[in-house]
Amino acid sequence: MAVATSSYASDALPSGTVDTVVIGGGAAGLNGALMLARSRRSVLVIDSGTPRNTPAEAMHGFIVLDGTPPSEIYRRGREQVRQYGGRIVLGDVASTEPAAPAADGDLRFTVTLADGRSVTARRVLVATGLRDVLPEVPGLAEHWGHGVVHCPYCHGWEVRDEPIGILATGPASVHHALLFRQLTEDLTYFTHGTDLDENTRARFAARDIRIVDTPVREVTKNEDGTLAGVRLTDGQVVARRVLAVATQMQARTEGLEGLKLPTEDLPDNMGRRFASGMAGTTEVPGVWVAGNATDLSAQVGASAAAGALAGSHINALLATADTDAALTAAQGQSPTP
């Protein structure tokens, strides 16, 4: 799902090698950069300016910051990273590739921007986030983030007691319906070509969830542009104020192909993510991943925490590498590859 691009002043691109390049300026990327900058590491954040939650009016479910517009959270985050010496560049990454090791055997990576500029880094933190893929229903996308929502914890309170429709996309939509039923007594489940067994139909009936098996043709809107409901293929219009959709979530991989990071599919066609281990480590030495790029269901708080953990882990391993290099130099020996 495409989102609007934010705009702000970029810092100068460093000319030398930085300790870490962070690709992605959302909650995970900025918090990872913050941990590194506070550890006196040279860190550069490359931000495309297209965070997943741009269409949302406010972020919810994160204590203290609940109700804060996403743009304000990121603005504050950039200020705080810069306060400790971190740099932030607004731009798109065209390629990221391993480079020849340094003389002491330490890892190197080359990150090239779409405008042709490049920077060399010792380590890379991937925090590119994800892209929500909506079903191809005419009129649906224009209401994304307002009349069309996906997360009961992010948006549920704001749409409570409204007539809500669940536009099914697969098996995950069944549980989605149960979560939104907690928020309203007027819930309609549009199967939209997906299967619904008799046991699930009975459970829905017990919770007064109406089931519509006729496929949805299009989403309709009111004169003021707000969502009005859905038109079915038989011509019937079902009035709804809100539609909830379990999107397919795809990690953003653009510009990262050169790293050959392993990915994996989630069950029930829910999405695709970067595979990661403890603290965001990957099978590629020197590369970490954090936030929605690897944890597709993480909210802002969880993504920020994952970024902090990855940042601290990167700093710890850099400290070991620095000490190894210093010891080798002191002993007058060649470093072990």
**Which helix H or strand E contains 123, and what residues bound it?**
strand 118-126
Which H/E stretch holds residue 274? strand 271-274
pLDDT band of residue 334 (cuts 50, 70, 90) is low
- Residues 55-87 pLDDT 10s: 788 889 888 999 899 899 999 999 999 999 999
Q: Which domains are delineated in the chain? A: 17-131+248-331 (3.50.50.60), 135-245 (3.50.50.60)
Mean pLDDT for 119-141 is 96
Length of the chain: 337
Q: How far apart are CA 326 and CA 4, in angstroms?
A: 47
pTM: 0.93
> Is residue 333 scored above 80 in pLDDT?
no
C-alpha–C-alpha distance, residues 298 and 93, integer Å: 23
What pLDDT sits at residue 124? 98
For 11-51, the pLDDT digits (tens) are: 999 999 999 999 999 999 999 999 999 999 999 999 999 88
Q: For 3, which DSSP code?
A: -
Q: Which residues, 6 or more positions from 177, have their beta carbon under 8 angstroms from its beta carbon?
A: 166, 187, 189, 204, 209
Determine which of 239-243, 268-272, 283-287, 300-304 has the lowest per-residue pLDDT on average: 268-272
333: CB partners within 8 A, 6+ apart? none
Report, as an integer, the average pLDDT of 320-330. Answer: 93
Q: Are the beta carbons of 32 and 135 closer than 8 angstroms?
A: no
